[in-house]
Amino acid sequence: MERQYIGIDIGGTNIRLGPVNKEGEVGDLLYLSTKEYASWGDLLIKLISVIREMELDRIKALGIAVAGGVLISKGIMSYSPHIKWLNEVPIEESLVKATGLPVFLENDANAVTYGEWMCGAGKGFSSIICLTLGSGVGGGIILNKDLYRGEHGLGGEIGHMCVQPNGRLCRCGKKGCLEAYSSASALSAIYRERNQNGKADYQLNAVQIYERAIAGEELAVDVFTTFGEHLGIAIANLVNVLSVHHYVITGGVSRAWELFFDPLEKAMEANLFNPHRGMVKVFQGQLGDKAGVMGVARLAADYLELAD
């Protein structure tokens, strides 16, 4: 029986894991809530239990993606504003000891980017940039068919690009980050700040705001316009610096495509250096929840091949 890889995608809201074969086909996903775990030790116990149910002798390696800056050489996440109990934890080492399997650690947005490039909306392009829109904003960069990590492996943190000097406060502590304008948490916060109807709508989440926008509520539509405009500015900046013309947008909030894409495109074209205008293509991701699981499993497979 064919041995498989296991992809584990730990995001700020959800955890997804499942088997992936060498062709990149993903089996049934298991979903967990990140908020149910208060420490890596708690989550590790659960992961070990699930992995053992999958039969260790059928598993070739584990790929684990986490929402934060990853130091691949050390097998740790250096910092995450979303899952602080994972900061500086020896994730890779503890999983190796617990399972006896090879383990490869990667940033979650890099994993999604790799998945979409291999089998999704970015397939066939030599260079793409992917933006993942969820509780935060992640980013991944493929340059000339290689995943670009930058010095120390911390490249691609597009969510912390400044798109509004002295703007809204981001959870990372800086002001004006893309994440403070174009994430699910930003949608809720901006809607609350602009709402003049008191506390009744204080706790609206991104899905509820989306439903209001679809129903024609002006405030909700306006919030999604702000969301798209700042994405467009960020993409234009990336084009102007890197001359990459193909972009993939994924994550839960990407499902609101019809509400933010037009403002995104207008802001992007307005901020592009003239020679790039009319050349940039922005696609919606194709792999959905499977992108990170598939991408990090494929990266683990590639890592094993290189190690051999």
Lowest mean pLDDT among 14-18, 199-203, 233-237: 199-203
pLDDT tens digits, 154-182? 889 999 999 999 999 998 899 999 999 99
Q: Determine whether domain 121-284 maps to CATH 3.30.70.100.
A: no
Residue 247, pLDDT above cutoff 50: yes
pLDDT value of residue 40: 93
The CATH number of the structural domain formed by 4-107 is 3.30.420.40
Domains 4-107 and 121-284 share a fold: yes
Q: Which residues on adjacent β-strands are paired with residue 147?
A: 142
Best-predicted range by mean pLDDT (11-25, 44-58, 221-235)? 221-235
Rounded to an integer, the average pLDDT of 234-242 is 98
CA angle 243, 155, 285 (to 5 degrees): 65
How does the average pLDDT of the chain come out, rounded? 92
Does residue 299 carry a pLDDT above 90?
Answer: yes
pLDDT at 212 over 90: yes
Nearest to 187 by CA among 230, 216, 234: 230
Min mean pLDDT across 27-41, 70-84, 106-120 is at 70-84
Q: Is the pLDDT of residue 199 over 50?
A: yes
User: What's the CA gap between 103 and 75, in Å, rounded?
Assistant: 9
Q: Rounded to a whole number, what is the distance in angstroms from the first to the last CA of the chain? A: 22
Q: Where are the beta strands (DSSP E) in 134-209?
A: 137-143, 146-148
d(CA 247, CA 230): 15
For 74-84, the pLDDT digits (tens) are 888 887 777 88
- Provide the edge-to-edge strand list for the sheet that holds 4-10: 30-33, 14-20, 4-10, 59-66, 103-107
Strands (E), the chain: 4-10, 14-20, 30-33, 59-66, 69-71, 76-79, 103-107, 128-133, 137-143, 146-148, 246-250, 281-284
Q: What is the mean pLDDT of residues 210-221?
A: 96
Provide mean pLDDT across the span 281-291: 96
Q: Which of 137, 130, 132, 9 is nearest to 82 (CA)?
A: 137
Q: Transcribe 5-52 into DSSP letters.
A: EEEEEE-SSEEEEEEE-TT--B-PPEEEEGGG-SSHHHHHHHHHHHHH
Hey, which residues does 246 pair with through a beta bridge?
281
For 82-103, what is each residue's pLDDT tens digit?
788 898 889 999 999 999 999 9
| pLDDT > 80? residue 21 | yes
> For position 130, what pLDDT does the model report?
98
Contact predicate 26/290, CB 8 Å: yes
User: What are the residue ranges spanned by the domains of the chain?
Assistant: 4-107, 121-284
Res 201 pLDDT > 60: no
> What pLDDT score was predicted for residue 304?
82
Give the rounded percent of residues in the chain with a pLDDT score beyond 70: 95
pLDDT at 2 over 70: no
Does the pLDDT at position 1 exceed 50?
no
3-state helix, strand, coil in the chain (%, to 5): 45, 20, 30
Coil, strand or helix at 212: helix
Share of the chain above pLDDT 90, in %: 74
